Structure 1
C-alpha cells in the first residue's frame, strides 16, 4: 500500500512538471510585464507592437524598446505610431527609463501619477494626444528631467508649482491645453518663453512673492 502511494506521488509530480513545461509562461521580468500591461491598454491598428512577446525573458528584443547593457529598459519610442487607448500605472515600474516618447498619437485619459516614480527620466514627450485631467504633482520627483512636452492635449487645472523644483528642466511646453491659473516664475520657469504657455486659460506670470497660481481655476 505504501509503495502504491509513493508511486502515485511520483506520478503526480511528473504530471505537474509536464503540464508546467507545456504552458506558456509570461515574462517574469517586471519591466517586460509593465510593457505587456501597456500593450493590453492600447489599440494598435498598424501592429507596431506585434513583436512584444510576453513569453520572452526580457523585452530588449522588442521593436521600439531600447535597453542598456544590463537589459534594463531605458527608452520607449512609440511616437507617431497611430496608437490609441490609455496609459496605466504599470509604466511606473520602468525604473531605469530615460526617454518616454509617446507623442503624436491618440492616447486619452489621465496621465498616470506613477510616472513620477521614473527618477532616471530625462525626456517625456506626450504632446499631440488627448490626455485630460491635471498635470501630476508627482512630476516634481523627476529630478533628472530635462525635456517635458505636454502641449496639444486637453489638460486642465493649474500648472503644479511643485515643478519649480526641477532644476535640470530645460524645455517645458504646455501650450494648447485648457490649463488655468497663473504661470510660476521660480526655478527654471524664469527661462521658459511665453510661447510654452500660449492657448490656455492662464493669467500670466504670478506676482513676485504672491502664490496665486490657481487663480481663475
Structure 2
C-alpha cells in the first residue's frame, strides 16, 4: 500500500509540473523574441525569464493548461525583427503585432503554428516574400499583412487555406498576378491595391508573374 501511495504522489507531482515545463519552453521562445526587440515604452517589462510560467506576463494569454494561445503586441511601439523561435508556440491562436516598427523578413517557421486563427502584422516594415509555409496554417481565418514592404508574388499555395475569410496585402511592393482559386475568389480588390500586381489570373491558364 505504501508503494501505491508513493506512486500516486509521484504521478500527481508529474502532472502538476508538466504544464510548467511546457510553458517554460514557450517562455524561452518569448524571451528570445524580446531579445530581438527594442521596447522604449517598456511594454515587455513584465517578461521576466526567471518566471517559469509566461502566463503571468502582460500581453500574453494562456489556456487552462498554461499554453500560450494569444500574443497581443499590437500598437506597442516596439521595433526590431522576428526570429524562428516564434514557431515554437504550438498552441498559439492569435498573433497580434500590428502597428509597430518591426522589420526584416517574416520567419518561415510561423508556418508551424498549426492552431493559428488570426495573424495581424499590418503596419510594420516587414520585407521579403510572404512565406509559402503559411499554406500549412489550415485553421487560419484572418491574415493581414498590409502596409509593409513585402515583395515577390502572392504564393499560390495559400489558395489551399479553406478557412481563410480575410486577406489583406494592400500597400506593399508585391508583383505578379492575383490568385483566383480557393478563398481568393471572394476577396475584394481593396485587399490588393497599391502593389505592382497585374490583376486576377484567368481561370484555366497557368499563372504568370509579370515583373517579378
Aligned residues: 191
* Residue 198 (1) aligns with residue 193 (2): yes
The structural deviation recorded for 1:211 is: 2.5
The structural deviation recorded for 1:29 is: 1.2
TM-score, with length taken from structure 2: 0.89
Structure 2: state its 5+ residue gaps: 1-21
Partner of residue 177 from structure 2, selected from 179, 182, 187: 182
Aligned pairs (5 A) from 1:8-157: 29-157=24-152
* Residue 170 (1) aligns with residue 175 (2): no
Kept in 1, the 8 Å contact 2:23–2:68? The answer is: no
> Secondary structure of the residue that 1:29 maps to in structure 2?
helix
Partner of residue 211 from structure 1, selected from 188, 206, 210: 206
Kept in 2, the 8 Å contact 1:132–1:153? The answer is: yes
Kept in 2, the 8 Å contact 1:100–1:125? The answer is: yes
TM-score, with length taken from structure 1: 0.87
The structural deviation recorded for 1:148 is: 0.1
CA RMSD in angstroms, aligned pairs only: 1.1
Structure 1: state its 5+ residue gaps: 1-26
Deviations 1:7-63 (A, max 9, x none): xxxxxxxxxxxxxxxxxxxx9811000000000000000000000011111100000
Give the equivalent residue in structure 2 for 1:11: none
Q: Which has the larger radius of gyration?
A: 1
The structural deviation recorded for 1:87 is: 0.2
Give the Cα–Cα distance (whole angstroms) in 1 for the partners of residues 23 and 155 of structure 2: 36
> Secondary structure of the residue that 2:134 maps to in structure 1?
helix
The structural deviation recorded for 1:213 is: 4.4
Give the Cα–Cα distance (whole angstroms) in 2 for the partners of residues 43 and 124 of structure 1: 21
